[in-house]
A and B are shown apart, each in its own frame.
Chain A
Amino acid sequence: MNTDSLIETLARDVGPVPRHAVGRRLLFGLLAGGTVTVLLIAVSLGFRSDLGLAMHGFTFWMKWAYTMSLGFAAIAMVARLARPEPVHLSAFWPVVIPFVLLAIVAIAEMAHVPSGDWLAMWLGQSWKRCPWLVLMLSAPIFAGLLWSFRRLAPTRLRAAGAAAGLAAGAWAATLYCLHCPEVSALFVLTWYSLGILLAAAIGALVGPLVMRW
């Protein structure tokens, strides 16, 4: 096709683009993926039976504060990496703040518990399943973000893949809290984070393959 007729064809399809279109598109992908994840939890795992009661307690909100702040930080990274201009990855250091804060909570928690109980607190009831469930539940959200990226222009595909994986993992963990009855900060710090980091690692691995444009 010659260039002039290509331009003519392209110019036939010019819808208005709202301001903050990148944010809207990411939000849309995130919500679509998140809906699937919630349905998966409802069907296969079930919500925790004491959910209403738990939402009045400290630990539930500690877990949500951790996973959600990580989720927002990761989405900010995704939004920046979705635009093509050069970016210094060192600008993303604040993403470790939630982790550091939760580590402080975990240390404070350990100080109040006899050291003989530390292992039980660390492993909880579900340490073997938790990281894998978080990882699996992140898949629909990651897919949603990939859909968002089809109209975006990432130029650092590995970093964008890792950020999308991190966001998907953090929001999957947020939703997994609706099922998971674990209460210790040490547990969340280890096993939730492991699942989230696995999602980020897989994102970094597949980013250059699936985000290419």
Chain B
Amino acid sequence: MRASEDQLKTWMVEGLDGNAASHAALLRALVPVLRAFYRRRVGDGDAIEDIVQETLIAVHTRRISYDRERVFSAWLFAIARYKMIDHFRRTRQTCPIEDVEDILFAAGFEDEANARMDVDQLLAALPEKQARAIRETRIDGHSVADAARTAGISESDVKISVHRGLKALSARIRGERL
């Protein structure tokens, strides 16, 4: 079973106070956590145990850099991430692209993906013609003329579809909030 943030933090703080047993318990509990962290991100399976050990050594030798007032896992994963990037640099390997997202912009990427999903969901509730007109002119940034040409309808038809679609959407959003 994975140890919780509270448990890890307690062991860490006791270790900082000089309790060797707690410190050993902490390092042992970190092994599965770190293995899982790297397994998801490092392609090279043979390297994982080495990086885990290096991270444990760093956690041990650089433990004074942990501030007791702060979240333990934030400190731990910052070190784990540093060690992973260092590993990539040493082996001249590049990060798989989906992991770069994960490393650098985990939060922002998630928000963006959620926002897109929300929009898709809303548009799915509209008639196909209106949804398409909104998507092309308001989201993908095409001109009304382009949208009319690709859909094979007149420009005023596109404008009316956008107008009706947006009206229906705002009514729906208001309805949901009320």
A and B interact: yes
Which residues on A are within 8 Å of B, measured CB to CB?
Answer: 1, 3-4, 6-8, 10-17, 19, 21-22, 25, 82-86, 151-153, 155, 212-213
Determine which of B57, B65, B86 lies in contact with A10 in the assembled complex, contact meaning CB atoms within 8 Å. B57
Q: Are A1 and B53 in contact (CB under 8 A)?
A: yes
- CB contact under 8 A between A10 and B62, given known A16-B18, A19-B68: no
Beyond A83-B75, A155-B81, 12 extra complex contacts between A and B, CB < 8 Å: A6-B53, A6-B57, A10-B23, A12-B20, A14-B15, A16-B17, A84-B65, A84-B82, A85-B70, A151-B65, A153-B78, A213-B58
Residue of A nearest to B78 (CB): A84
Given the complex of chains A and B, what is the CA–CA distance between A17 and B31 in angstroms?
Answer: 23
Q: Are B78 and A85 in contact (CB under 8 A)?
A: yes
- CB contact under 8 A between A85 and B74, given known A17-B16, A19-B68, A155-B82: yes
Smallest beta-carbon distance B101→chain A, Å:
16
Given the complex of chains A and B, what is the CA–CA distance between A100 and B52 in angstroms?
Answer: 47
Task: For B62, list chain A residues within 8 Å (CB).
Answer: 151-153, 213
Main DSSP-derived SS at the A contact region: loop
Task: For B81, list chain A residues within 8 Å (CB).
Answer: 155
Residue of A nearest to B66 (CB): A83
Considering only residues 17-68 of chain B, those with a C-beta below 8 Å from chain A are 17-21, 23-24, 27-28, 31, 49, 52-53, 56-58, 60-68
Determine which of B20, B68, B86 lies in contact with A212 in the assembled complex, contact meaning CB atoms within 8 Å. B86
Q: Tally of A-B residue pairs with Cβ under 8 A?
A: 84
13 A/B residue pairs, CB under 8 Å, sorted by A: A3-B53, A7-B24, A7-B28, A7-B56, A8-B24, A10-B56, A14-B20, A17-B64, A25-B64, A84-B79, A85-B70, A85-B75, A153-B82
Given the complex of chains A and B, what is the CA–CA distance between A4 and B24 in angstroms?
Answer: 10
Given the complex of chains A and B, what is the CA–CA distance between A14 and B20 in angstroms?
Answer: 5
Task: For B23, list chain A residues within 8 Å (CB).
Answer: 10-11, 14
Q: Are A153 and B58 in contact (CB under 8 A)?
A: yes
Task: For B27, list chain A residues within 8 Å (CB).
Answer: 7, 10-11
- CB contact under 8 A between A86 and B18, given known A10-B56, A151-B61: no
Given the complex of chains A and B, what is the CA–CA distance between A152 and B64 in angstroms?
Answer: 7
Task: For A16, list chain B residues within 8 Å (CB).
Answer: 16-18
Smallest beta-carbon distance B5→chain A, Å:
15
Smallest beta-carbon distance B58→chain A, Å:
7
Q: Are A21 and B64 in contact (CB under 8 A)?
A: yes
Task: For A83, list chain B residues within 8 Å (CB).
Answer: 65-67, 75
Q: Are A15 and B61 in contact (CB under 8 A)?
A: no
Residue of B nearest to A82 (CB): B65
Smallest beta-carbon distance A27→chain B, Å:
13
Task: For A151, list chain B residues within 8 Å (CB).
Answer: 61-62, 64-65
Smallest beta-carbon distance B13→chain A, Å:
10
Q: Are B49 and A3 in contact (CB under 8 A)?
A: yes
